[in-house]
Amino acid sequence: MMKWIVLSIAIVIGFIFLKLWLLRSQKRESGKQLFDLALNSVFLGFLIWKGSLLLLEPKLIIESPMSLLYFTGGKNGFILGMFGAFIYFFVKARKLRITNFIILQSVIVFGIAVMGGYFLVNHFLSHDKPKVNTAGTKTVEIGLQEGNKAPDFQLKTLNGTDVKLSDLQGKKIILNFWATWCPPCKAEIPHMQDFYESMDKTKVEILAINLTTLEKNPGKVKGFVKDKKVTFPVLLDQDGDIGDQYQAITIPTSYLIDSQGIVRKKIVGPMDKGMMNQLIEKVD
């Protein structure tokens, strides 16, 4: 989520620089036309990026149509969106009798401003990011901040089997808090299942903790999981203690825990398969 926020800020910076450049280099009317066209092009690129999920992950869209609301086409979709936006900008600009040289200049000014803005904003936001210490985990403080030892717990699965977090040390873990009535949770589950099927179960695990105290009908959780064809462990937080301990206020909320039991990242909101792959690859 943070990288998309950074990208959004960078795009705004790009538009500001483009506007300033157009005011200095173009006549008022042509400058306004180019700026409006740039806005329309970026909006079209965004729609292509969002809609590209239909092309890139049709199976997931069939299983969970709400994925279109919560997810995008990722990096590949972003490239398609950029390409589509450029083609639209070029064709429309030519129809306005704008020269290729001015079109190219506009694209370069906007592109450099966006990239520069992205670098600066990303650098500023990550400058004070705490370093994660995975060595000597016996002395690491227990907590939920990055670099803390994840608080241990034990819960039962839908089948009544006890699962203890500390027993899974040695595996990378995605710890997910969810409920059956939560729309983004419903959209996220097929992505989690697809991700889980592609992973080596000896190295990666998903623990999906159902916030059972928030369910209107806890008895329907098992049927919901069966309908979604979920094969990763689903745990029941029947007292609400673990959800409170892990501060799962907004759901879905997930924690990325490395093989040493250290919290590496907290993610608020739904994740798609690509995001899960990226997160898992970044930890030991």
**Summary mean pLDDT of the chain:** 89
| 180 and 274 fall within a common domain | yes
Among residues 97, 126, 155, which one ends one of the domains? 126
pLDDT surpassing 80 at residue 221: yes
**Does residue 249 contact residue 141 with C-beta atoms inside 8 Å?**
no
Domain boundary among 78, 99, 126: 126
CA distance 239 to 26: 65
- Tell me: do 58 and 157 sit in the same domain: no
Q: Minimum mean pLDDT among 92-106, 127-141, 269-283: which range?
A: 127-141
- The answer as to whether 94 is a domain residue is yes
**116 and 164 housed in the same domain:** no
Q: Do residue 70 and residue 168 come from a single domain?
A: no
**263 band by pLDDT with thresholds 50, 70 and 90:** very high
Instruction: Dump pLDDT digits (tens) for 178-193.
Output: 999 999 999 999 999 9
Last residue of a domain, one of 77, 97, 126: 126
Rounded mean pLDDT of 223-232?
Answer: 93
Q: Is residue 131 part of a domain?
A: no
Instruction: Give residue 93's domain range.
Output: 2-126
Residue 187 and residue 69 share a domain: no
Same domain, 45 and 164: no
- 133 part of a folded domain: no
pLDDT, tens digit (0-9, with 9 covering 90-100), for 116-159: 998 988 888 765 555 555 444 456 799 999 999 999 999 999 99
Q: 110 and 193 in one domain?
A: no
pLDDT over threshold 90, residue 261: yes
- Domain annotation covers residue 96: yes
Taking only the tens place, the pLDDT of each residue in 43-89 is 999 999 988 988 888 877 787 787 788 888 888 898 999 999 999 99
How many folded domains does the chain comprise?
A: 2
Distance between CA atoms of 188 and 192, rounded to whole angstroms?
6
| 173 and 267 part of one domain | yes
User: In this structure, is residue 84 part of a structural domain?
Assistant: yes
Per DSSP, the chain holds a count of helices (H) and strands (E) of 10, 7
Provide the β-strand partners of residue 263: 257
For residues 106 and 163, membership in a common domain is answered with no
Give the pLDDT confidence score for residue 135 in this predicted structure: 47
* 3-state DSSP percent of the chain in helix, strand and coil, to 5: 55, 15, 30
217 and 149 in a common domain: yes
Closest residue by Cα to residue 233 from 255, 253, 271, 204: 204
pLDDT band at 165 (very low <50, low <70, confident <90, very high): very high
CATH code, domain with 172? 3.40.30.10
Give 13's pLDDT tier (boundaries 50, 70, 90).
very high
- The per-residue pLDDT for 274 is 87
Question: Would 212 be classed as within a structural domain?
Answer: yes
Mean pLDDT of 153-182: 95
The pLDDT assigned to 138 comes to: 53
Are 185 and 85 in a shared domain? no
Residue 57 lies in a domain: yes
Q: Could you give phi then psi for residue 193, rounded to 5 degrees?
A: -65, -45
Band (282; pLDDT cuts 50, 70, 90): confident
Is residue 173 one of the residues assigned to a domain?
A: yes
pTM: 0.76
What is the residue whose two structure tokens read 């989520």?
1
In the chain, what percentage of residues exceed pLDDT 70?
94
Strand partners, 208: 176, 234
Q: What is the pLDDT of residues 14-45, one digit of tens each?
A: 999 999 999 988 888 888 999 999 999 999 99
pLDDT of residue 127: 57
C-alpha distances in angstroms, 262 versus 52, 127, 129, 143? 35, 21, 16, 9
- The reply to whether 27 and 112 lie within a common domain is yes
pLDDT value for 27: 86
